[in-house]
A = this chain, B = another copy of it.
Amino acid sequence: MPPILTVFERSPDRGRGLARDMRVRWALEEVGQRYDVRTVSFEAMKQAPHRARSPFGQIPTLDDGDLVLFESGAIVLHIAQRHAGLLPAGSDARSRAVMWMFAALNTVEPPIVEREAATWSERGKPWQAEHLAMLDARVRVRLDELSRHLADRDWLEREFSAGDLLMVTVLRRLEGSGLLEAGPSLPDYIARGEARPAYRRAFEAQRTLFESASPP
């Protein structure tokens, strides 16, 4: 039985591949693992049957045999540890790759998500613009730091890893925001990720699902 990935029935990003299942799809494509998809609506995602699998009411989840996992970072690491292709050989190099997974999700992503949340949760507040400027400044600090690290590198370490996979998906949330220019190395880095055949296959799969759920 291939693993089963639970994803949005209709992704709120309208097929742009920004939902967190994209990370897992990409990881599964990198390692050449077929998978099935189960969809969940927004309403069902917050109800008891889904919460029994995902206590915070989120997607994605992965069923792999008897194991049920939530948290996209944990699912990507689980896949990376059971298949070749997402972590380097050598125990020290693996620890460095896993380090970048945590950096993507605990240092780079939080201010990006926070800024994104403020664009809608504070809509109409007279102080939204002032607050967004503060949040933008925090995002720019992280982009500048990351960009310096990537200035003379194609990937975060010597070769592409699950750390790059997560970092690219985190940075993609800023496409169209005008903030990525704070990190001059970052657009090319994202483009290198998006050019990978496994990325393209994952992107098309989620796009096709969105389009079939939303006829024109």
Contact = CB atoms under 8 A, between A and B. Distances in A.
A145 B95 contact: no
Interface residues of A, number: 46
A37 interface: no
Nearest to A156: B55
Contacts of A127: 125-127, 130-131
B57 A103 contact: no
A55 B92 contact: no
B55 A74 contact: no
A114 B110 contact: yes
Given A57-B145, A121-B134, A125-B127, A103 B66 contact: no
Copies of this chain: 2
A200 interface: no
A209 interface: no
A77 interface: yes
Given A110-B114, A114-B110, A73 B96 contact: no
A149 B134 CA distance: 35
Interface string A98-130: 110111011101100110000001100111001
B102 A71 contact: yes
B109 A106 contact: yes
A103 B95 CA distance: 19
A114 B69 CA distance: 26
A133 to B, nearest CB: 12
A148 interface: yes
Contacts of A81: 95
A74 B102 contact: yes
Given A69-B99, A70-B99, 12 more contacts: A55-B148, A56-B107, A56-B142, A56-B145, A58-B107, A74-B102, A77-B102, A78-B95, A78-B99, A106-B106, A122-B131, A131-B131
8 contacts: A55-B148, A58-B107, A73-B106, A74-B95, A78-B99, A109-B110, A125-B130, A131-B131
